[in-house]
Amino acid sequence: MANLAETCDHPSVPELADIVQSLKEEIIFGRLLPRERLVEGELSDRYGASRHLIRSALTELQGMGLVARRRNKGAMVRDFSVEEVDEIYEMRALLQREAVLRIPWPIDRALLRELQDIHCSYSRCVEAGDLRQVCILNNKFHFTMFEAANNRCLTEMIQRIWTETLGIRCYSIGDPIWLGRARDEHAAMIAQLATGSREGLLRLVDAHIWPALELYKRAHGGWHASKSRQVARHQGGVAGGRRMSAGVES
């Protein structure tokens, strides 16, 4: 997830951005697992940063929906129940579908070229096994496409779900089989953009998201279904998702 630091102006003194980025990567690459505690003091030592900075980073991650916090109890990597994951993926499908529907058709040649370039780099990194770069280029590929829909609000919502589900997709990101398959699917998308139909692209983009979900579910097995319910209760009114209550709100 490339460069939040460069685009997001405020909460990112260089060091803070680094910490956020690092934690994000530890989550997506599975070194930090869901429900794992994030103790401020430990992180403070590990990164050699003041606890204040760590707190800011956690707040930011919380805002991104990656971390859940409970007052006086600390932060943990956010965990999703199977039901929640299903709901999230339904929305992801809806939004991505909408994005594809809004891409001006036939596709702009410059955009197509850009996607092809990204895909080339992507393929190379897959070969080389550079997971970190694969991740970055994967994001770039999809968001270059989604941004063509020309609706910032839509792009932001997809981005939000994208980030939230980092911890879910961590099960597929390291799987060579899945990586190869994703690469092929990207190639197929480009083909549809170049000489195919919008409907064909729609099918591809939609089909593209489910394998990671299946992998996640399999990793959690049936076990997760009951367990997660406990956790859901344990997390209480999880503050991570900026859930909001019936405040006056308006």
Partner DNA sequence: GAGACACCGATTGTCAACAATCGTTTCGGG
Partner DNA sequence: CCCGAAACGATTGTTGACAATCGGTGTCTC
Minimum CB–partner distance for residue 187 and a second copy (Å): 20
Question: Sheet of 37-38: strands edge to edge?
Answer: 37-38, 74-77, 67-70
Query: DSSP secondary-structure letter at 101?
Result: H
Interface of this chain with DNA, residues 43 to 62, rule: CB under 7 A: 49-53, 55-56
Determine, following the binding rule CB under 7 A, whether residue 16 of this chain makes contact with DNA.
yes
Q: Considering only 40-48, 119-127, 184-192, 230-238, which stretch makes contact with a second copy by CB under 8 A?
A: 230-238
* Residue 235 binds to DNA (criterion: CB under 7 A): no
What is d(CA 5, CA 13) in angstroms, rounded to the nearest whole number? Answer: 8
Among 49, 111, 112, 154, binds a second copy (CB under 8 A): 154
- Regarding 195 and contact with DNA (CB under 7 A), the answer is no
Residue 1 binds which of a second copy, DNA, none (CB < 5-8 A, kind-dependent)? a second copy
Number of residues engaging a second copy in binding (CB under 8 A): 68
Is residue 8 involved in binding DNA (CB under 7 A)?
Answer: no
C-beta of 70 vs 160, nearer to DNA: 70
Minimum distance of a second copy from residue 130's CB (angstroms): 12
For residue 98, the partner it binds in a second copy, DNA, none, with Cβ less than 5 to 8 A by kind, is a second copy
| Block residue for tokens 């129940």 | 81
Residue 224 and residue 221: Cα distance in Å, rounded? 6
Question: Strand, coil or helix: what is 146?
Answer: helix
Tell the residue number behind the tokens 């930090």, with chain if given.
Answer: 32
Q: Give me 247's structure tokens.
A: 């405040």
- Pairing relation of β-strands 37-38 and 67-70? unpaired
Which pairs from 102-107 meet CB under 8 Å and 24+ separation?
102/149, 102/150, 102/151, 102/154, 103/145, 103/148, 103/149, 103/198, 104/148, 104/150, 105/198, 107/148, 107/193, 107/194
Q: Which residues bind a second copy (CB under 8 A)?
A: 1-4, 6-13, 17, 21, 24-25, 28, 59, 62-64, 69-71, 84, 87-88, 90-91, 94, 98, 132, 135-136, 138-140, 143, 147, 151-157, 159-163, 166, 169, 173, 236-239, 241-250
Q: Which residues bind DNA (CB under 7 A)?
A: 10, 13, 15-16, 37-41, 49-53, 55-56, 69, 71-75
